[in-house]
Amino acid sequence: MKPIVEYQDYHLLIKDYYEERKRTSYFSWREFAKVAGFTSPTYLRLVSEGESNLSRAKIDRMINAMGLTGYEVDYFKAMVNYGNAKDGESKAAYLKEMQKIALEYRVRVVDKEAVEYFDGWKNPVIRELAPMMPGATPGTMAKMCCNEISAAEVSSSLEFLTKAGFLKKGSDGAYRQTEKNVTASKDGMVYAVHAMQRKMLELAAESIERFEPQDRSISGLTFTVNRECYERIAQEVDAFRKKIVNIASDAEDADQIYRLNLQLFPMTWKLNSLEETKNEKESV
């Protein structure tokens, strides 16, 4: 699903959100309405089809149901007001507000042409580090990285990031990011993202021994769930991740780069699947 700032019609946003959730998990309009606190199971479907509008009184419910945070909340409110506005002057004002937010928080969606971006940890880190060190040499940047990287590799990363449009080099030699955030498109990029995630997990494991407890946060939980519970937890994790992105985007005078890994995965097979396997064996 594309970033919220690429939408101008909230009806379409709600429709795409529903279809994305349904594609990746068991999800229905009834469940969507329940999460949002609506009694009618068809109301949101009608809104998504443009046959009904979302009232101001119901905006906060949708924000919570869709897990919107930070600038997404402001953009969604402006988009609903824009879509519901009756006169041209009001529409123009809300559209201007949307454009302002979109310009400030635009997100780069990486497609299969930029697989190299996710080739290990180096490009994402250098993309963040270069603007923090205006005028620094590749060798100096290399020394700032906790993990081993050569000056030549920094130079190669800077060249790629500039050529691919992730960074722009000014006349003063300083780099700036062309977008605040980068995300992968869901089609054609999965294998590349998975490779980077595996490497980041390795670095996370190494951080337990490499850094003092006050400089890292490693924790975990083991618990029992059913499918509905899992879906709710996964949604909360996604909302938390977005909130972290928004907090980091607001940081002024940043002086260090961190990586946050979020993992939620099964530790056992489902009990009913085990029973089904047992029954199959007994019937052979």
221-248 pLDDT, tens digit per residue, is: 999 999 889 988 988 998 898 889 888 8
Higher pLDDT: 25 or 262? It is: 262
State percent of the chain over pLDDT 70. 91
129 and 73 within one domain: no
What number of residues does the chain have?
284
Alpha-carbon distance 40 to 258, whole Å? 44
Backbone angles phi, psi at 68, to 5 degrees: -75, 140
CATH value at residue 205: 1.10.10
* Per-residue pLDDT, 75: 93
Comparing CA positions, the residue from 220, 244, 212, 242 lying closest to residue 146 is 212
pLDDT at position 185 is: 62
Residues 114 and 73 grouped into a single domain:
no
* 150 contacts: CB under 8 Å, gap ≥ 6: 142
Same domain, 147 and 86: no
- pLDDT for residue 112: 56
Which candidate, 99, 83, 103, places its Cα nearest to that of 91? 83
Tens digit of pLDDT for each residue in 242-257?
889 888 888 888 899 9
Pairing of strands 107-110, 181-184: parallel
For residue 40, give the CATH number of its domain. 1.10.260
More confident residue, 129 or 267: 129
Q: Is the pTM of this model over 0.85?
A: no
Q: Is residue 257 part of a domain?
A: no
Q: What is the mean pLDDT of the chain?
A: 87
Count of domains observed in the chain: 2
10 Å Cβ neighbour count for 82?
20
The stretch 203-226 carries a mean pLDDT of 93
36 and 84 together in one domain: yes
Residue 32 pLDDT more than 80? Answer: yes
pLDDT confidence of residue 117: 86
On whether residue 65 sits in a domain, the answer given is yes
Scanning 105-189, the segments in alpha helix (DSSP H) are: 122-132, 138-144, 151-163
- 131 vs 104: which has the higher pLDDT: 131
Query: Could you list the residue range(s) of the whole structural domain that residue 74 is in?
Result: 4-105
Q: Which residues contact 260 (CB under 8 A, 6 or more apart)?
A: 241, 244
Lookup: tokens for 181: 């955030």
Provide the terminal-to-terminal Cα distance of the chain, rounded to the nearest Å.
45
- 136-140, 197-201, 266-270: lowest mean pLDDT where? 266-270
pLDDT for res 246: 84
Q: Give the pLDDT score at 141.
A: 96
Element of type H or E holding 227: helix 227-249
14 with 73, same domain?
A: yes
Chain centre distance of CA 1: 10
* Those residues with Cβ within 8 angstroms of residue 149's Cβ, 6 or more apart along the chain or in another chain: 122, 142
- pLDDT greater at residue 15 or residue 246: 15
Residue 211 or residue 252, greater confidence = 211
Select from 167, 187, 213 the last residue of a domain. 213
Q: What is the pLDDT of residue 205?
A: 93
What's the DSSP call for residue 279? H
Q: What is the pLDDT of residues 70-95, one digit of tens each?
A: 889 999 999 999 999 988 888 889 99
Per-residue pLDDT of 125-139, as tens digits, reads 999 999 999 999 999
